Amino acid sequence: MLSRRDYQQAGRLLHWGLRPTAFPGNEPEYAEALRRYLDDGEFREAFVYFALGLGLEVVEAAEAGLVLAPSSGSLFRVKMADYRSSTGADDRLIEGFIHVGISATVFPTAESLEEASTRRRPAIRVDEVEETLRRVCERLAAEAEGEPDPTREDVETGLIAAWRVYDRRVAKDSGRRRVGVATEGLIEKTLETLTDAGMFVQRMQQGKTVYQPTFRYQAQIAEFSANAAYRMVCNLLQPAGEPKDVHA
């Protein structure tokens, strides 16, 4: 039977779990509540269901921290308008590709995604993410070779293949173009946003800026986002007429 103090401690654990840059090793209260979560089944169950009611899923809990992810329709889920107020449809689309591209660069193989989230993956660079995305574009472009070019109607109704949107964007900004349209700039911006949210740590390595994924990022992708994204894509690929659920 949990006491009032236990419920309060569960609330404090939630408080710390919502702070992306807090670490149990630096916050004794967080460490104590987390230890309780790991060791006490009753406490853990109460916490998990309370968080679920709030729209939060516990995706990972280890000595390195508690990782929460927003469930479908959650108040805690980021909406694009929250941080990209003036982007067009193509920019939004590219942003989606970039998020998946970043995760595919951090976890380049199925085996790497299966490893424990507490195992630190190597840091990534902007050009590596770009390479991951361009490689897929090249593969799809090779497949599409010989097919007729899209018609104007296809372009206007959005029936062109999505990869073409990424493919026709330049990789690097040049002086003559509007700044911020090149894909490498957009990747950098996305990584910086994720860094601010405690998902990456930026540092210099051999004179180049690298982004080190944190436990929080690795856990969220491996235990939550990868699966959710896979289901979203599968739902869209279902034959017409079948019910679709694009909200993971």
| Residue 10 found at the interface with other proteins (CB under 8 A) | no
Taking the C-alpha atoms of residue 164 and residue 134, their distance in angstroms, rounded to an integer, is 11
x/- letters, 102..121, toward other proteins (CB under 8 A): -xx--xxxx-xxx-x-xxxx
Cβ-based nearer residue to other proteins, 185 or 231: 231
44-63 mask for other proteins (x: CB under 8 A)? Answer: ------------x-----xx
* 225 interacts with other proteins by CB under 8 A: yes
Terminal CA-to-CA distance of the chain, rounded, Å? 34
Chosen residue from 10, 33, 101, 210 binding other proteins by CB under 8 A: 101
The alpha carbon of 48 is separated from its chain's Cα centroid by a whole number of angstroms, namely 22
Q: Binding residue for other proteins (CB under 8 A) from 42, 52, 151, 158?
A: 158
CA dist., res. 193 & res. 211, Å (int): 12
194 counts as binding other proteins under rule CB under 8 A? yes
Among 2, 46, 161, 181, binds other proteins (CB under 8 A): 161
- 183 scored as a contact of other proteins (CB under 8 A): no
Contact flag: residue 82 with other proteins (CB under 8 A): yes
Q: Which stretch binds other proteins (CB under 8 A): 2-10, 169-177, 181-189, 197-205?
A: 197-205
CA distances from 70 to 52, 56, 78, 79, 116 (A): 9, 5, 9, 11, 21
Please name which of 166, 169, 164 lies closest in space to residue 141, comparing C-alpha atoms: 164
Q: Which of 65, 169, 182, 210 binds other proteins (CB under 8 A)?
A: 65
Distance CA 182, CA 16 (A): 37
Report, in Å, the least distance between residue 208 CB and other proteins: 14
Q: 164 vs 99, 134, 145, 150, 222, CA distance in Å?
A: 17, 11, 13, 10, 28
